[in-house]
Amino acid sequence: MQNEQTTKHVLKGALLLTFTGLLSKVLSAGYRIPLQNITGDLGFYIYQQIYPFLGIALMLSLYGFPTAVSKLVAQQRDKGYNIAVSSFYLPIFSILCLINVILFFSIYINAGLIASLMGDSKLEGPLQVAAMAYLFIPFTSIIRGVFQGLNNMKPTAVSQIIEQVVRVTIILFSAVILVKQGNDLYLIGTGAALGTIVGASIAGLVLLYIWYKQKPFGNKRYSFNWIYYLKTIVVYGFLISINHMLLLLLQFSDAFTLIPNLVNYGLKIDEAKIWKGIFDRGQPLIQLGTVLGSSLALAIIPTITKNRLAQFPSEFKSHIQSAFKFSLYISVGATVGLIGIFPHANILLFQSDQGSTSLQVLSLAILFSSLIITTASILQGLGYVYHTAFFVMVGLLVKWLLNAWLVPLYSITGSAFATVFSVFIVLILNVHRLKKVLPDTKLFVIKSKPFLMATSILILFLVAMNQFVFKLAGITTRFDYLGFVLLVSILGAIIYLGLLVKWDGFNEEELRAFPYGETIVAFKNRRR
């Protein structure tokens, strides 16, 4: 009975972190739209060049190092030890400080070289400020990790939301001030870095307050192994971070390869910066689409572990199949919908339709990246963390090489194809590994007829709205575009999901996972 209660507590905690992570990603993607509106494509380009370094710091402080610390906490508790200040906190904090000071100096000292490799020497100053974000990681990571190791996910969840809200507020506020005062746009990169630093500082203070109040430590010393602590934090911490950074690492590749290769395509350096900013318009929409495509699947993932595979194999396989079904159905709908409305959404959100065709190609990444998150989460639950991290790095290498080949030939469309092909490769590798791990489990169990019919009708609906309703409505203003995009998005989603439900694309258990799922099931049963 106690084990059952503990399992439920752990699952609730995992679901809380999943929900908080999704909310955090929505915030992280959503603010970039007003940021581009405030600063234009050049300002957005500057921000996106700095963001990968800030994003990596966020991933390390939210996922990588806390997960490694929580692993060590759980091991000490299994041995019957209280986590002592002298035997746990001090050595772990020292190791985290050492790692992050090295990361800080690596970026700070080489900021000029990094900026020149990006093809823009003016980025040196913002990169140096961004490097300082790594100095705050030890404070937030160790406390988050300790609470997670004690199966208390609330401090991590609360601090994560506070950190994101503060960061986003400062970034947007500083952008408004800079533009109003006519300051150098490159200070936007500095403002973004300061937002990250202040957000981390406030999150750290909140965590410190919770830690002091709950006092999760003991005074009894015990022997420990410095090398083991260091190895766990470095190896496990970075591996977990990499598993959360696929889209971020692809942006990291673009930060280094897009400008030089756009110049090789024939653009002047100032034009290349603008077109990099235009290409980056797709990033928040891809991120939001991926969050949407994987959200319901991620709600099921915490139940997928090695123990559950051994104890409840049929239930385990059912959960995997449902996770894939949710991810496939919703990501296909999101991908088709975004491709269909992208020219209008581009004008609505970013005030011009430049780059729409290239960004429609990039939208295909939603489908593959949503399925990657699902497959990687299952593999990680089964203990294959090393494999999934390696596959992400393969995807990064493919992206880097394809950018060098395709961008000089096809401009930002080449980068869009490179991104889509890279995430497709990662998905294939994940699925291949999962099939080896679970040879007797059919991953994609879907009813093809309702799926294909619902998708086809969604496509016809989008064509009809674009070809007839849009032209007849005489849409010209941004407010008109808002009404049209909202109408198409809401009706499209209702039609697509409604048809899948009507034609039994989901079983009753899966329908109950939806918001108001019980109501949907009851209504469907009454209609029979």
Q: Where are the alpha helices (DSSP H) in 268-312?
A: 269-279, 282-300, 306-311
Q: Where are the domains of the chain?
A: 1-244, 248-320+361-444
Paired strand residues for 218: 84
Give yes or no for a contact between 494 and 458, defined as CB atoms under 8 angstroms apart.
no
The CA distance from 354 to 274, in Å, is 11
Q: List strand residue ranges (DSSP E) for 297-338, in order.
A: none
Written as one letter, the residue type at 401 is L
Residue 218, classified by CB atoms within 10 Å of its CB into exposed (0-12), middle (13-18) or buried (19+), is: middle
Residue 91, classified by CB atoms within 10 Å of its CB into exposed (0-12), middle (13-18) or buried (19+), is: middle
Give yes or no for a contact between 275 and 355, defined as CB atoms under 8 angstroms apart.
yes
The CA distance from 135 to 100, in Å, is 6
The CA distance from 477 to 341, in Å, is 16
The CA distance from 490 to 190, in Å, is 38
Residue 248 Cα to chain centre, angstroms: 7
Note the pLDDT of residue 150. 85
Note the pLDDT of residue 28. 75
Nearest to 131 by CA among 98, 171, 102, 159: 102
Note the pLDDT of residue 47. 95
Residues contacting residue 98 through CB under 8 Å, at least 6 positions apart: none
Give yes or no for a contact between 322 and 513, defined as CB atoms under 8 angstroms apart.
yes
Residue 510's H or E segment, with its range, is helix 508-511
Residues contacting residue 290 through CB under 8 Å, at least 6 positions apart: 247, 331, 365, 366, 369, 370, 373
Give the 3-state DSSP-derived string for 21-89, with helices as H, strands as E and coil as C: HHHHHHHHHHCHHHHHHHHHHHHHHHHHHHHHHHHHHHHHHHHHHHHHHHHHHHHHHHCCCCCEHHHHH
Note the pLDDT of residue 2. 44
Give the 3-state DSSP-derived string for 142-182, with helices as H, strands as E and coil as C: HHHHHHHHCCCCHHHHHHHHHHHHHHHHHHHHHHHHHHHHC
Note the pLDDT of residue 380. 83
The CA distance from 458 to 339, in Å, is 12
Predicted confidence pLDDT, tens digits, the chain (528 residues)? 444 454 454 555 555 666 676 677 777 778 899 999 999 999 999 999 999 999 999 999 988 899 899 889 888 877 777 788 888 899 999 999 999 999 999 999 999 999 999 999 999 999 999 999 999 999 999 999 999 888 888 888 889 899 999 999 999 999 999 999 988 889 999 999 999 999 999 999 999 999 999 888 777 777 778 899 999 999 888 988 898 899 999 999 999 999 999 999 999 999 999 999 999 999 988 888 888 777 666 665 555 555 555 566 667 777 788 888 888 998 999 999 999 999 999 999 998 999 999 999 999 999 999 999 888 888 887 888 899 999 999 999 999 999 999 999 999 999 999 999 999 999 999 999 999 988 877 877 788 899 999 999 999 999 999 999 998 888 889 999 999 999 999 999 999 999 998 888 887 777 776 666 677 777 766 766
Note the pLDDT of residue 14. 55
Note the pLDDT of residue 290. 83
Compute how many other C-beta atoms are within 10 angstroms of the C-beta atom of residue 163: 27
